[in-house]
Amino acid sequence: MSTKLTIGKAINAGLRRSMEADPKVLIMGEDVGKLGGVFRVTDGLYKDFGADRVIDTPLAESGIIGTAIGMALRGYRPVCEIQFDGFFFPAANQTFTQLAKMRARSGGTLKMPVVLRIPYGGGIGAVEHHSESPEAYFAHTPGLRVVTVANAVDAYWMIQQAITSDDPVIFFEPKRRYYEKADVDTEPPLASAYRMDGARVARPGADITLLAYGPMVKTAIQAAEADTEHDIEVVDLRSLSPVDYATLNASVRRTGRLVITHEAPLSSGLGAEIAARVTQDCFYHLEAPVIRVAGFDTPYPPSRLEEHYLPDLDRVLDGVDRSFAF
């Protein structure tokens, strides 16, 4: 059965299905209970699953992740909501020194099936600390898996896959796209869905590969459609750790060109790592250096400036032009 769902509602439906399938799945976070979260992603779950499974926590991010680790050690599968990207940082210690390393230091004895849901990115006119893209910190941390979604179908399936993973998964939600709708077939069994660590060709093309993830996928597709001179292939990365180089490299070998775009600051971002890897893997296929179109190496600006900070259609196409200028 196909249902029209927003990204937010699709995550909600995925959470519900996971909770129905496994009584060990718990929701934890600030305001996730009666309110249903500030973006309403956990709406209705408190009412249907109760306070023991949808836990309104004290307002302390380190406490949320730290107690989630304890719950996981007890056999639970906590799904923690961090209210906004910029509020993750108080939980950095528990995430980087404990959650990410627990399995390795236990010699494989322990598992950490914990999901951190983090609404991220800008474009909603928010105040400071509500528009950041911290994904590179997580992708740089061994032991974590990092994924993000660009549409409701992926949102529905990937949140469930993240929950069934025995590794900690950072699940980035593109907050400015929460209300984007798509038809989602919620019937098939989870096992038949694609793997969350695979990239996806979102729009086939022959001349150049445009790599995006999360909120930038829509911008990338719009740019591809606006460009009448070049046939742009858009690849939606989906998984930031690991990166699906098989899919990406195959695309670049076909097109010979790559532009990477993300909202996060340019330097030492995901784009830098991917450019290095693709250059190594596809050196003899490249017609031009890998071009990056990203946020600037500044703190996220006040919202009246964010349209200049965020890569938009024109800046992405400028990147495409720079590639063809070689």
Give the interface size with another protein as a residue count (CB under 8 A): 49
Closest to another protein by CB, 166 vs 229, is: 166
Q: Point out the catalytic residue in the list 130, 230, 285, 308.
A: 130
Whether 147 contacts 159, CB under 8 Å: no
105 binds another protein (CB under 8 A): yes
Q: 285 is written with which tokens?
A: 């296929």
283 binds another protein (CB under 8 A): no
Instruction: With contacts defined by CB under 8 A, name the span among 59-67, 170-178, 229-237, 259-267 that binds another protein.
Output: 59-67
Measure the CA–CA gap between 96 and 151, rounded to whole angstroms: 28
Measure the CA–CA gap between 148 and 83, rounded to whole angstroms: 16
Of residues 133 through 192, those in contact with another protein by CB under 8 A are 142-143, 145, 165-167
H or E element that contains 171: strand 169-174
Whether 271 contacts 216, CB under 8 Å: no
242 binds another protein (CB under 8 A): yes
34 binds another protein (CB under 8 A): no
DSSP tally for the chain: helices H, then strands E? 12, 14
Please choose, from the candidates 123, 64, 74, 124, the residue with its C-alpha nearest in 3D space to the C-alpha of residue 94. Answer: 64
229 binds another protein (CB under 8 A): no
Report the SS3 class of residue 180.
coil
Instruction: With contacts defined by CB under 8 A, name the span among 97-105, 146-154, 183-191, 306-314 that binds another protein.
Output: 97-105
Q: For this structure, is 140 an active site residue? A: no
309 binds another protein (CB under 8 A): no
Residues written for the chain: 326
Q: Which residues are catalytic?
A: 130
- Would you tell me which residues interact with another protein (CB under 8 A)? 26, 52, 55, 57-58, 60, 62-63, 65-76, 90, 93-94, 97-98, 101-111, 142-143, 145, 165-167, 197, 241-246
